[in-house]
Structure formats: structure tokens, C-alpha cells
Amino acid sequence: MASTFKLVFAVPLLLQLLDFCWGNKVGVDYGMDADNLPSPEKVAQLVRNHNIQYLRIYNYRPEVLRAFSNTGIELMVGVPNADLSQFQSQPYVDSWLRTSILPYREATKITHITVGVEVTNSPDNAANCVVRAMRNVVSALKSANLQGKIKVSTPLSFGVLSKSYPPSEGAFNSGYEYVLRPLLDFLEENQSPFMVNLYPFYAIGDSSLDAILFKSPSSIFVDQNTGLSYKNIFDAQLDAVFYAIANLNFRTTRNTFDAQPDTVHFTLADTDLIINDIIAAETGWPTRGSRRPHASTHNAKTYNYSASLDSVDDYANIDNAQTYNTNLISHVMGGSGTPARPGANLDVYIFSLFNENLKQGPETERNFGLFYPDMTSVYNLVFPGKGTGRSWCVASRQASNSALQNALDWACGPGKADCSALQPDQQCFEPNNLVSHASFAFNNYYQKNGLTDQACRFGGTGIVVYNDPSYGNCIYNVKSRDPNGRTWCVATSQAYRSNLQNALDWACGPGKADCSEIQPNQRCFQPDTLLAHASFAFNNYYQKNGATDASCSFRGNAIKVDRDPSYGNCIYH
């Protein structure tokens, strides 16, 4: 499309929600292309412990569906490309639904069925089969009275776009229109989301690292067609997909618009195709390896990476992976949407749960995991949910009784954890079992010793969780609610990283908070995280200024709590 057309998009005011609830979501892709992964039951516990509420699986294995029953975790269930030829038969799909999905429907929260994976990249006939297979799945769901309650879609590669810069000129590769047009018709008819896999990691070379890691302090470019300013590549890629959908339809409906000499204004509602929901079904960052040769579509021309890359890519490392995914979560949960869709809901799934040792291709493909196969964290990532972003340490239910007992005895030794609440007739004695007692003791030690990974080791029997394990009168904090009704002000984990940094800089400015304690080698420097440092600074300002609601605003980046957030030698006065 010529760049002389200025495209103005407006999001429809009403979504047909049916029984389905939309909202910003951050989930994880649970791939199983490995021979050393823990059992699905252990994985389900791991996912719950880390407050991961949305999971996408690439299959419909009964042992996986059973493992996630009664967990409340929402599942996307996948149909592999290899099954699509059989899914051309309606009777086969009807039988598949009865035997593979319906038996688990009551206990397992299945919200989506994804049919195929990146079918336009598949060397077989998957692209020609996918839409009919999806229609057969919907027909089977109708027969089971589940239409609308389980959404059906297919995740595509970002490579279906031939152009993505500027975003307003986003365009699909014309060679894929034979599958895209019927696919988009299907999605609109069934109010299903468009799914795409986005990997800004592969745009390094035509974009700065800061722009890809959500760290650019200012605009990286302005779309001259729309005047919209972009600060990160994720938003640019997502909007390019959004515009590509509209632009594909615009070519067939252009004569319905009131054209001015240099400008054509239209809204999505003007088109005969409305796809208002796009899910990033995969996005993530590898922790080691080299990037595969890759043709970027960020600009109008392509950028080809050398096939002779170093064995370890400078960009594929733990620090960048943690930064990308942490800032991605903050961006999604911040609720700002994208420049073309301000305030719109964003759903993303981070690839992947584990490092998968059998994945083909370069080493990066095997190192996108958030966890190693032994279920230890590759790096710390806090998923959004209830609470203030705090963490706790509890006993692993997978640990042997002997290992757990030894760790409990050590934790309750002189000068370590305070285990008095575990004594008979005290508030945490019941339930009187090893896992419960060890969990309380482990957490007490963890809170006292800086909330570090090392403080939750206990010989491999402790795990960090992000939901408060307190129950009844048993409070899993070093200090319980203040008896005098005191409150503290801390940073919220839902804040944008950039906003939090700005608020911290302001709080530590001249004449405001005393931030000397969060300098290197001082009592509150560890843990050396933005959330911890901002919490200390916010609270210092809050206490100095009358502990009022106004003094704990920080432009929405702070919240009040009624439990003392002090830990170890770091005292939140």
C-alpha cells in the first residue's frame, strides 16, 4: 500500500464476550521436546508454586490434562501438525473430542484449542489442512454445547508478514493469502483470536538492544503514516500484525471509503472483517547459543544474519532473558496496550517452561527455558497475580522425608530460623506434618536472610513461591500485622519498569527520601533489584510525610501494606 494513505484505526466499543472473559494475561508455553523433563504432576506443582496461571501445551496427552485438573490453571491445548490430515474428517474429530477433551473438561480448565503450529512454515500439507480442521473442531464443540467456551485458533509465525515497517504498512506475504483469507474469515465468524509468535530477539541487527528489551527511554521511531510513536519492537511487531489484517481487507473494501486527496480514514468497524484480539502465542529470549540465520521483516528490506555465528551469542544470556521477560510482563500488565491500540488487552505466552534438549536447530532453540529439567530456576521471574510482588520459601513436596527432616533440623538450629510457632499448641503447629513445618521454618530463615536464592536452598529441598502460604492464624512473615495499625508503602510489582525507575529517581532526589541504605555495601542494598530498592525509598518518603495516601501514590507505582516489610538488617522505619 502506498505510504500516502494515513490509516486511522478505532477499536470497536463492544466485544462479544459470550462466556469467555478477556483480560491481560501472561502465560507460559509448556513444550515437551526433551527426554529429561519431570512428570506432569511435578510440573503442575511447579507451575502453581510460581503463580503461573495460564499455560499452553502443544499436545493433548491425557497424563498432562489429568495433572492440571483442579488446579484452576487455564490451558491452551494443542493439535500437532502431524494430526491435521486426520482432522479433515468430521467423524474423527467428533470422536477425538469425546475421548481426548471431554473426559477432562469438568476438572481441567481448557480455554483454547490451537490447531497446528506455524503451518505456513511446515514442509507438509499443514497449511492446506488447517482451516478445515479448525472448522471440524468448532462443529464438534457445537455438538457438545461448548462453542464459545473453548476458542479455536492456530498460531502463525511472524514470517507470514512480508513487511512490518512502518507498522501501518504491515502486509502479509501474498504467497500465504490462500490460507490467510479463509483463516481470517473463520476467526471473525467464531470470535476467535489471531495468534502469532513474536520474537524481537531476532530483530537485533536492525534495532537497538534497548529497544528490544523495553529499555528505550524515548521513541525509537515515529510511523509517518499515523504519527504514532514507538518505544519498543514488541509493540511495533504486534501493531504490524494488527495493521496487516486490516490492510488485507482494506484492499477489497477501499471503494467504500470517502477518500480525500492524500488521506483515507477508516476504522476497523468499516471493514467486513473484525479481528480485535491478537495473542502472542510465543515470545521469549534464549539464555545461551547463537541465533539461526534469519531474515528480518522489521524494515522493507531484509537483513540476513551470518550463518557462521559464534557458538555463544553475545545477546543470548541470562541477564538479557530476565530483562526481556520481566519488562514484557510489566508492559503487558501495565494496561497501556500498543500505540495503535491504546488500552487494549494484551495476552502473551512466554516460551518456554523448560530448556528442551531434543529441539532441533541451533543451540538457542534448546535454551529458552525458565526452568532447568530439575525444576530449578534458570533466573527469577515474578508472574503477575495477587499480592505485592513478595516471595516466600517453602518445602518441596518432591523432597524425601529424610532430606526434609535434615533441612528442618538445620533451619531450626541455634541462631537460624525462629521455629517457636511450630511448637505444640502454637499457631503453626497444625497441620502437624513434615512439609508444613519445614515450609514455615524455611520461610522464616529466607525472610531473615535477604530473600536470596541461596537462602532458599536447604540442600535442594526449598523452593521460592510468589503466593503467600499463610493460613488461618499462621502468618508466613517474619513479622505479622502491626498491632498498632502501622502501614508501610512499597512498590507494586505490576508497575512498568521504566515508571518504577522514574519514581525511584524522584523519591531519592534532594530533600525527599533518605536512600543511603540502598547504596552498595549498605544494609538494604541486597536484594539488588529495582522492586526492592524502590520499596525502601517509597516507604522512607511515606513515613517522613505523614503516612498518608497521597505520600504513597508515586503515580500509581506504590501500594500500602499492613505488614512490616523489613528483613534481616534492613529495617523499614
CA 86 to each of CA 82, 125, 128, 190, 326: distance values in angstroms, whole numbers, following the listed order: 9, 12, 13, 22, 40
Question: Is the alpha carbon torsion for 244, 245, 251, 256 positive or negative?
Answer: negative
Take residue 430 and report the three cell numbers written for it.
Answer: 497444625
Per the rule left: phi > 0, alpha: psi between -120 and 50, beta: everything else, 263 is beta
Dist. CA 296–CA 303, nearest whole Å: 5
Which of the following is catalytic: 74, 118, 188, 356?
Answer: 118
Q: E-strand spans in 328-391?
A: 337-338, 341-342, 347-351
Question: Is the alpha carbon torsion for 379, 385, 389, 390 positive or negative?
Answer: negative
Dist. CA 30–CA 463, nearest whole Å: 20
Helices marked H in 170-304: 177-189, 209-212, 233-253
**Known catalytic residue: 118?**
yes
Q: First and final CA of the chain: distance in angstroms?
A: 61
Dist. CA 501–CA 371, nearest whole Å: 28
Query: How many other CB atoms are found less than 10 A from the CB of residue 483?
Result: 6
**Known catalytic residue: 282?**
yes
Amino acid 280 reads A
Take residue 384 and report the three cell numbers written for it.
Answer: 503477575
Dist. CA 417–CA 395, nearest whole Å: 14
CA 49 to each of CA 44, 64, 168: distance values in angstroms, whole numbers, following the listed order: 9, 17, 41
Which of the following is catalytic: 74, 169, 188, 282?
Answer: 282
Rounded to the nearest angstrom, the gap between the alpha carbon of residue 398 and the centroid of all alpha carbons in its chain is 26
List active site positions: 118, 282
